[in-house]
Amino acid sequence: MIRSLLFLPLVALTCAAPRQAIVVPDTQATAWSAAGDSLIHPQEKHFKHLKQLTFGGDNAEAYWSFSGSKLIFQSTNPKWGESCDQIHVFDPFKDDLRTSKPTLISVEGGRTTCSYFLPGDSLVLFASTHEHNATCPATPERRADGKYVWPIYPSFDIYVSDLTGKIRKRLTTTEGYDAEATVSPKGDRIVFTSMRDGDMDLYTMKINGSDVRRVTNTLGYDGGAFFSPDGTKLLWRASRLKTPEEEVEYKALLKEGLVMPTNMELFVANADGSDARRITDLGKANWAPFWHPSSKKVIFATNHKSERGFPFTLFMVNIDGTGLEQVSYGDTFDAFPVFSPDGRHLVFSSNRNNGGTRETNLFLAEWVD
C-alpha cells in the first residue's frame, strides 16, 4: 500500500496485472527519444529504451488492459486537484500527460487504490473508501517509536466501475479492510486481501463477487497477490513472524489498523493456496512482485542490498529461488514493475528525473531479455 517503504507518501498496497499473448500494433509504437534513453543507468541492460509517462505528483501501480493498449493507475497529483490517491486511465502509446490530464475513474471521492481491468476492458475494479466518507481519510502520524507502518483502512471495499466512473457493483460488503484485488488472466476469478477473519489474508472470488474462498492461513500480512499467466498459481508478498514478541507487536498494530512492512519475502502457491512456498530469503523488504512473461521467474522491488533501507531497486529471480539478478540501478526508488501483455514493455514507478523532489512518476521501458 506504499509508494516507498521509507519516506514517500502513503498509497495503496501493491496489486498486479493480467496478461495475455496480445501484441500492441505497430501503429501504437512508442515514440522513444534520446532524452528518455539518457534516463537509463549504464547497467540497466534490460531497458532498450525508456520513456517517462507522468510528470509530477505521486504515480504508481500502473496495470495494463487485457488488450495491452491502456494503463490504469493511481495518482496523488495536486495539479489535478487530488489530495489522496485517485484512479486514472490513459493510452501510454498516444497520450501525452505533460499537456493533458488522464481520464478520472474514481469520481465518487474517498481514497482509492489497486485498480485493475476486467476482461473486455470496458470495466475496471478498484478499492475505495468513498461510501464511508467522500473525503480523504487521515494518514497515520509519525510514531513515537520511529517504526514505519502502513494504514489498513477498514472502510476500503472493492467496486466495479465503467470507464466513465459509474459504479456498477460493490463486490465486498464484510466489515474491515478489503482491497488489493487482481484478476486472473483466465478472467474467471479475483484474488484480494481481506481482514474479514481477523488477519491480513488472501482470498479468491468469482468475477461477480460470489464463491469467496480463503487462500492463506498463516499469521502475518499476506498481500499484493496476482495470478500466473495461465491462472494456475499465485505470487504475493508476506511477512512471517519469527518470535512471540513479533506476534504480539503484529497483533497490537492490527488493532490500531496498521501493519509494519519492513520485513517481507515473496511466496508462490497453487491458485487454491496449496503447496505454498517462499521463493526469497533476502531480508528487509521484498515486495511488488510480478510474473516475467516466461512464467519461470518474477520481477520485484527490494531494498535488501541497502544498509539504510533505501534505495529500492528492481530484481528478478527464478520461481525456485535461484538466479537472482539485479535489473535497475541507482540511488533512487524503483518499484511496481509490470510487463505488458505481449512482454515487449515494462511499466514501473521511479523517483528518477524528479529534480531532487519526492515525486514518483511512471516510466515505460522497451524490454530486452
Long-range Cβ pairs for the range 307-315 (8 Å, 24+): 309/5, 309/6, 309/262, 309/284, 309/285, 310/4, 310/6, 310/7, 312/4, 312/5, 312/285, 314/348
Per-residue pLDDT, 307: 80
Residue type, 278: R
Question: Is the pLDDT assigned to residue 31 strictly greater than 60?
Answer: no
**pLDDT band with cut points at 50, 70 and 90 for residue 35:** low
Asked if residue 248 is part of any domain, the answer here is yes
Overall average pLDDT of the 124-147 stretch: 91
**pLDDT band with cut points at 50, 70 and 90 for residue 145:** confident
Per-residue pLDDT, 82: 95
Asked if residue 292 is part of any domain, the answer here is yes
Q: Quick one: which of 137, 138, 109, 128 has its CA closest to 172?
A: 128
Asked if residue 18 is part of any domain, the answer here is no
Asked if residue 7 is part of any domain, the answer here is no
Q: What is the pTM of this model?
A: 0.91
Question: Is the pLDDT assigned to residue 349 strictly greater than 50?
Answer: yes
Model pLDDT for residues 232-281, shown as the tens digit of each residue: 999 999 999 999 999 999 999 999 999 998 899 999 999 999 999 999 99
282: domain range?
A: 31-367
DSSP state of 229: T
Question: Is the pLDDT assigned to residue 29 strictly greater than 50?
Answer: no
Average per-residue pLDDT for the chain: 90
Question: Is the pLDDT assigned to residue 3 strictly greater than 70?
Answer: no
Asked if residue 55 is part of any domain, the answer here is yes
Question: 142 CB contacts (<8 Å, ≥6 apart)?
Answer: none
Per-residue pLDDT, 18: 31
**Where is pLDDT greater, at 100 or 8?**
100
Count the alpha carbons within 13 Å of 2 in the hemisphere toward its beta carbon.
23
Asked if residue 281 is part of any domain, the answer here is yes
Asked if residue 24 is part of any domain, the answer here is no
Number of domains in the chain: 1
Report the percentage of the chain scoring pLDDT > 90: 83
Per-residue pLDDT, 139: 87
Question: Is the pLDDT assigned to residue 353 strictly greater than 50?
Answer: yes
- Beta-bridged to residue 123, according to DSSP, are 162
Model pLDDT for residues 82-101, shown as the tens digit of each residue: 999 999 999 999 999 999 99
**Where is pLDDT greater, at 268 or 142?**
268
Overall average pLDDT of the 124-139 stretch: 95
Model pLDDT for residues 170-217, shown as the tens digit of each residue: 999 999 999 999 999 999 999 999 999 999 999 999 999 999 999 999
Question: Is the pLDDT assigned to residue 11 strictly greater than 90?
Answer: no
Question: Is the pLDDT assigned to residue 142 strictly greater than 90?
Answer: no
Asked if residue 57 is part of any domain, the answer here is yes
Per-residue pLDDT, 34: 52
Q: Phi then psi for 93, rounded to 5 degrees?
A: -95, -20
Task: Calculate the CA 281 to chain-centre distance.
Answer: 21
Residue 308's CB: how many other CB atoms inside 10 A? 7
Residue 141 DSSP SS3: coil
Q: What is the CATH number of the domain that holds 307?
A: 2.120.10.30
